[in-house]
Amino acid sequence: VRPLTLKGFLKRYLQELSEAKTIGIFTLAKLAYKDNPRLRYPLYLYARESGKLKIFNSARKLYPFEVANDGKTLQTFEYYQNKAENDNHTKLLMYNRIIALQKQKNVSNYRIYTDLALNPGNANAFLKYGDISKCGLSLARHILDYLERV
């Protein structure tokens, strides 16, 4: 998977927020000035990231608006950038709960992967060695649901 860059994210974000098919700085600056103030900060960031600050400043002379950190754009970027990491963290939390329930209810790995018809290799790697790369989030959820019910 290609890592998500701020510039790549901003391209998509600006297109979504503006509903325009272009990421032309003048077009977006016009929208930011008049109808869509939410574009202002991401547009500034995009111009900065793509080395187009001069064009951005020229556009702002024509369509004057203030630029202030909206506290939202970078948080949304972080969310998408860290999505895989967040999933792994949730899987790890699930793994800890699974192991605790396994001990508490005395359920073997064998019983889990036979009852749920899981791939024994991947299930063992996850359950025995805590290898979260061998287990998707939905599968971890499935195992946890099973152990809570059993």
Nearest CA to 71 among 42, 30, 35?
42
Q: Which stretch binds another protein (CB under 8 A): 27-35, 49-57, 94-102, 116-124?
A: 94-102
* Min CB(62)–another protein separation in Å: 27
CB 37 to another protein: min, Å: 13
CB of 25 closer than 8 Å to CB of 31: no
Quick one: CA torsion of 112, 119, 134, 126, rounded to 10 degrees?
30
126-138 burial, b for 16+ CB within 10 Å, e for fewer?
bbeeeebebbeee
114 counts as binding another protein under rule CB under 8 A: no
Stretch that binds another protein, among 8-16, 45-53, 103-111, 123-131 (CB under 8 A): 8-16
Residue 18 corresponds to which tokens in the numbers above? 């503006």
Q: Which of 53, 62, 93, 116 binds another protein (CB under 8 A)?
A: 93
As measured in angstroms, the least distance from the Cβ of 136 to another protein is 14
137-149 helix and 120-129 helix, angle to the nearest 10 degrees: 80
Span 27-66, contacts to another protein by CB under 8 A: none
Residue list 62-91, contact with another protein (CB under 8 A):
71-72, 75-76, 78-80, 82-83, 86, 90
Supply the minimum distance, in Å, between the C-beta of residue 69 and another protein: 10
